[in-house]
Amino acid sequence: MIDLRSDTITQPTPAMREAIAHAPVGDDVFGDDPTVNELEAYVARLLGKAAAVYMPSGTMTNEVALRVHTEPGDEIILESEAHIYYYEGGGPAALSGVMCKLIKGRKGIFTAEDLTRSLWPEDFHFPKTKLVCLENTHNRGGGRIFPLSTIEEIAQVCREHDLRLHLDGARLWNACLAASISESTYAAPFDTVSVCFSKGLGAPIGSALVGSKEHIHRARRFRKLLGGGMRQAGMIAAGALYALRHHRNRLQDDHINAKLLAEGIAQIEGIDIDPDDVQTNIVVFHTQTMPAQTLAQQLGEQGVAVLAVGPNSLRAVTNLMVNREQIQQVPVRVESVLRSHPAKVS
């Protein structure tokens, strides 16, 4: 199977399994796990922040961040298709009791002007806005990179209005590589940043939240409250540490493969995609006739797994389990599915 459903399907490599097998461990709830401590120190340094805390998932790091920055009844501002709003099970309402105000972006990106326009005037009738969340790269935006200059302008608006700024950086590694911007430069405008090790980096489990000592101290309390305090967590943190040290640069292969895939399927009649929209490892494309669900299912029968993400939209995510030769097979199979099911003439 050429599995392009997500970069989360990646499995640990033999070398990563070796690192996991030999990792020293301890009880991390007591702060005793040397591997978790090493991972947290490494990721904090890489992102240029004072502290980091390891958690089981990116959903938990995001949701803990919201709770760190808000009290029930507060408002947060985020893009209308943000992962935090779209894919976290209603967490902002259930876990932090916050209102979500949505800004409609362009492929996930909005500007400082969009933010300024969305702010309430100072008046006790309105909810108290505390936090702005950005996503880089933007998942439903098709792996779109958030331009650093736009982030800096948004951060300036946040400072002027006493708002905190959180980054959902599940795929920050991809943005850094594609834009040639360091992790610490991209993280600098933010109070907290969530990063995932279990996406394109290929570690089996885990994410980290980074920020100031005070914010991360408070985050540890909410991680515990949510049941995210883990014991010999070095067993999984070792995979994350290995991935950080050895797999960041290989994301370039995924980006090249995504571009090749986009250029290949752009030639096919019945498929709509602009290869210039593909900036990292996510390829979103549209069907002109066949419903997305049907194409996904038929492609599955041809040995290519992709996800339908809308009535006419599909998503393919390149990853370390899929090589160049396999990617070159995908347009061939898409074309064969579409050709064997010609559009009905009405």
Ligand X SMILES: *Cc1c(COP(=O)(O)O)cnc(C)c1O
Contact residues for ligand X, defined by CB under 6 A: 57-59, 62, 83, 135, 139, 168, 170, 196, 198-199, 207
Question: Which is closer to ligand X, CB of 35 or CB of 198?
Answer: 198
The DSSP letter of residue 108 is T
C-alpha distances (whole Å) from 309 to each of 7, 22, 285 are 15, 40, 10
- Burial label for 5, CB within 10 Å (0-12, 13-18, 19+), is middle
Nearest to 290 by CA among 324, 233, 219, 341: 341
Minimal distance, residue 341 CB to ligand X, in Å: 31
Question: Which is closer to ligand X, CB of 228 or CB of 270?
Answer: 228
CA 96, CA 88: separation in Å to the nearest integer? 12
Amino acid in the structure at residue 89:
G
Question: Which is closer to ligand X, CB of 169 or CB of 264?
Answer: 169
Minimal distance, residue 281 CB to ligand X, in Å: 11
- Burial label for 97, CB within 10 Å (0-12, 13-18, 19+), is middle
The DSSP letter of residue 247 is S
Buried-exposed string 45-78: b where 16+ CB fall within 10 A, e elsewhere:
ebbebebbbbbbbbbbbbbbbbbbbbeeebbbbb
Buried-exposed string 165-200: b where 16+ CB fall within 10 A, e elsewhere:
bbbbbbbbbbbbbbbeeebeebbbbbbbbbbbbbbb
Question: Which is closer to ligand X, CB of 75 or CB of 79?
Answer: 79
Minimal distance, residue 204 CB to ligand X, in Å: 11
Question: Which is closer to ligand X, CB of 20 or CB of 196?
Answer: 196
Amino acid in the structure at residue 137:
T
Structure tokens at 326: 């396999």
Minimal distance, residue 168 CB to ligand X, in Å: 5
Q: Give the CB-nearest residue to ligand X.
A: 58
215 in Cβ contact with 66 (< 8 Å) = no
Minimal distance, residue 261 CB to ligand X, in Å: 19
Question: Which is closer to ligand X, CB of 57 or CB of 294?
Answer: 57
CA 146, CA 135: separation in Å to the nearest integer? 7
Minimal distance, residue 308 CB to ligand X, in Å: 17
Minimal distance, residue 9 CB to ligand X, in Å: 12
Minimal distance, residue 49 CB to ligand X, in Å: 18
Asked, as a colleague might, if the bond just before 294 is cis with ω within 30 of 0, I would say no
CA 262, CA 329: separation in Å to the nearest integer? 12
Minimal distance, residue 141 CB to ligand X, in Å: 9
CA 328, CA 217: separation in Å to the nearest integer? 48
Task: Give 304's strand partners.
Answer: 2
